[in-house]
Structure 1
Amino acid sequence: MALHNRVSADELKKRLAAETFKRTTVSFYQYAKIDDPQAFRDELYLALSQLDVFGRIYVAHEGVNAQISVPAHHFEAFRNHLYSIPFLNGIRLNIAVDDHGKSFWVLRIKVREKIVADGISDPLFDMANKGKYLDAPSFNTLTNDPDTIIVDMRNHYEYEVGHFDTAIEVPSDTFREQLPMAVDMLKDQKDKNIVMYCTGGIRCEKASAYLLHNGFTNVYHLEGGIIEYTNKAKELGLPNKFKGKNFVFDERLGERISEDIISKCHQCGQPCDTHTNCKNDGCHLLFIQCDACAAQYDGCCSEECYAVVQLPEEEQEQLRKGIDKGQMIFNKSKQRLRPRLNEKEDQ
């Protein structure tokens, strides 16, 4: 059996659309020592392919990080296989909060240097020395204390559409930039309770270890992140302190947690929290766009891109030659957005 997909994207998307069974979107991660990431990757690919699992998984010497879509009728077999792997036995599986079953359409498993790019080079840094877990009830209790500092360890475009009450943003485009920024922002409050959170727990867990490594003492992180917190709050009848949408890195681009809309359309400024990728394939920038602006600009981020998509496809292909827009899919840099999406504001 091949260890990589060999079917075209268009065909895979057609097959997904034609499926008559339900899928469950699930995420999991584990920091653990993997001696041979490539061998582990290949074995995992073979096992999950046989179960028709789709999604994105990163494997490194430091562990595994996965966001996947599992056929409901294969879920038990999937979980059994996962739990047969010693360091994944009993691992928490974060079930999506708002799931239409079409989050992924292909399985990709990649070997990387790290499962979360952190920029940490200090050989004395140790993930075993991490902050204390907080479950949903404990999170609500501790964050009721006005002296507790809640830190959002997600990118600014995630924070923009949804975050916990009173949470502070570490305004950056990448996690590797956020870590030293968080240390600097909190340097005068090392003795306070600091609670860190992210989408599923993987980033805030590493961030909690980084703060401890830099001399902080009372550091906590939300177990299972926003996803687990929301599911547990619902199950236990707890007040949910998260407002807005939880951004996710798949076809859904967001899970509705509360009805609050705390962000604005980047083109007209009206309340909106719908992320989209620019329709111009030579751009594909991620941004927030309301229905009215989507109609006016034909799904594009700017008049420049709108003009491009009106051209014949052959001319568009010529314009795209040599352009690498892969990183734009999940790149909404404030520096890049400002001149392109707020032109009217500056006039």
Structure 2
Amino acid sequence: MQLYNKLSAEERAQLIDEAGKDRLTISFYQYHQIGNPQVFRDHLFITWDQLEVLGRIYVAKEGINAQLSLPADRFHEFKEHLDSISFLKDIRLNIAVEQDNKSFLKLKVKVRDKIVADGLNDDLFDVTNKGVHLDAEEFNKLLADPNTICVDMRNHYESEIGHFEGAITPDVDTFRDSLDIIEADLKDHKEDKNLLMYCTGGIRCEKASAYYKYKGFKNVFQLEGGIIEYTRQVNAKGIENKFKGKNFVFDHRKSERISEDVVSNCHQCGEPCDTHVNCANEACHLLFIQCDSCKEKMEECCSDNCKEINALPYEEQKELRKGKSNSNKIFKKGRSEVLKFKK
């Protein structure tokens, strides 16, 4: 019985091309007490592998967080399976704004301590005592209220390429970093202001809203379904779009364009740009923003040093990496001194 992915990304990409089918990129989450996450994880993998699902799914005792893709013609089978699981029946599915058949190239279902790394002790507060959920129209209305403080619950590299008008965008690397910083910055407004939060798909706000209510904030609101659902409603209902730029996503696409505004710049030359790339040097893999001109000049690398290493034969690159105690910079997300125009 197969319980783990056996194909490489390259092999899977070839199979996708040969199949010639359109795929849907979808995300969803649900907080729910799961008695045996490992058994649930195995059940999901066995079923979803047969449905040709690919993606990154986290399962924990507190619930599930899923980002995945599947053949469009198997969507109804997938939905039927979700509906057969009591706590996932009729769950809202966030369908990507921009589709890409290769958004995911492997099926990874992992058991984690938490479905989002928040660093919180859930025993201290009621995680179900959440903030008020708002749809796109309600969100826009509250966003325009002068008594509202809007906070982006995402990380610096996400908000750098796109955010809501007037939102506070904390300069943080992780979700757990933002929680205490935001509370400290807004400590004088726990009772007299509306705390309005948003994130990519809603999951971070779900936990943060309960945490901030526990911390004494009286008027806590969150954008239901996050930026993804907001964009769907804006397009479907003709609502004014208050989001500027791109929405960062955690798959091979890296982002979805929400508006034509370019709110960031190339980290190497400073020209307007909002295209994230990973350094071509596999020993680095730094995530940063790079325009087409710098991409050509730097051969898809973040620095001259990485450019030189990447030009070496592959076996020499492997030798250089051998025995290194330092991992690559995949989690640095633009935090590098070699980038002259990073924010």
Fold equivalence (TM over 0.5): yes
RMSD (CA atoms) = 1.5
Alignment match, 2:217: 216
C-alpha spacing 1:323/1:79, structure 2 compared with 1 (3 Å): farther
Query: 1:102-146 CA distances to partner (integer Å, 9 max, x unpaired)?
Result: 200111000000000111126222211111101111101111112
Q: Is the 8 Å Cα contact of residues 283 and 325 (structure 1) preserved in structure 2?
A: no
Alignment match, 2:200: 199
Measured in 1, the distance between the counterparts of 2:64 and 2:308 equals: 43
C-alpha spacing 1:51/1:266, structure 2 compared with 1 (3 Å): same
Alignment match, 1:299: 300
Between the two proteins, what is the percent identity of the paired residues?
57
Q: How far 1:330 moved relative to its partner?
A: 4.7
Alignment match, 1:341: 339
Q: How far 1:325 moved relative to its partner?
A: 7.5
Alignment match, 1:231: 232
Alignment match, 1:25: 25
C-alpha spacing 1:304/1:26, structure 2 compared with 1 (3 Å): same
The one-letter code of the counterpart of 2:238 is: G
Q: Which SS does the other structure have where 1:168 is aligned?
A: coil
Query: 1:188-213 CA distances to partner (integer Å, 9 max, x unpaired)?
Result: 11121011000000001111111111
C-alpha spacing 1:326/1:127, structure 2 compared with 1 (3 Å): farther
Q: Is the 8 Å Cα contact of residues 254 and 276 (structure 2) preserved in structure 1?
A: yes
Alignment match, 2:253: 252
Measured in 1, the distance between the counterparts of 2:10 and 2:323 equals: 22
Query: 1:220-266 CA distances to partner (integer Å, 9 max, x unpaired)?
Result: 01000000000011111100100000000000000000000000000
Query: 1:307-346 CA distances to partner (integer Å, 9 max, x unpaired)?
Result: 1111122211111223478773353153xx2x1111x89x
Q: Is the 8 Å Cα contact of residues 52 and 71 (structure 2) preserved in structure 1?
A: yes
Q: How far 1:7 moved relative to its partner?
A: 2.0
C-alpha spacing 1:119/1:261, structure 2 compared with 1 (3 Å): same
Measured in 2, the distance between the counterparts of 1:163 and 1:214 equals: 25
C-alpha spacing 1:41/1:106, structure 2 compared with 1 (3 Å): same
Q: Which SS does the other structure have where 1:169 is aligned?
A: coil
C-alpha spacing 1:327/1:203, structure 2 compared with 1 (3 Å): farther
Query: 1:249-295 CA distances to partner (integer Å, 9 max, x unpaired)?
Result: 00000000000000000000000000000000100010000000000
Q: Which runs of 4+ in 1 moved over 4 A?
A: 323-327
Alignment match, 1:14: 14
Alignment match, 1:68: 68
The one-letter code of the counterpart of 2:276 is: H
Query: 1:25-81 CA distances to partner (integer Å, 9 max, x unpaired)?
Result: 000000110010000000011111110000000000000000000101100000110
Alignment match, 1:36: 36
Q: Which SS does the other structure have where 2:160 is aligned?
A: helix
The one-letter code of the counterpart of 2:7 is: V
What residue ranges of structure 2 are gaps of 5+ in the alignment? none
Alignment match, 1:262: 263
Where does 1:115-264 land on structure 2 (aligned, <5 Å)? 115-121=115-121, 123-191=123-191, 192-264=193-265
The one-letter code of the counterpart of 2:180 is: P
Q: How far 1:100 moved relative to its partner?
A: 2.0
Q: Is the 8 Å Cα contact of residues 282 and 323 (structure 1) preserved in structure 2?
A: no
Alignment match, 1:108: 108
Number of residue pairs aligned between Structure 1 and Structure 2: 341
Instruction: Give the TM-score normalised by the residue count of structure 1.
Output: 0.95
Do structure 1's residue 313 and structure 2's residue 311 form an aligned pair?
no
Measured in 2, the distance between the counterparts of 1:327 and 1:219 equals: 39
Q: How far 1:101 moved relative to its partner?
A: 2.2
C-alpha spacing 1:324/1:50, structure 2 compared with 1 (3 Å): farther
Measured in 1, the distance between the counterparts of 2:328 and 2:182 equals: 24
The one-letter code of the counterpart of 1:20 is: G
The one-letter code of the counterpart of 1:267 is: Q
C-alpha spacing 1:290/1:333, structure 2 compared with 1 (3 Å): closer
Q: Which SS does the other structure have where 1:329 is aligned?
A: coil
Measured in 2, the distance between the counterparts of 1:324 and 1:296 equals: 30
Alignment match, 2:50: 50
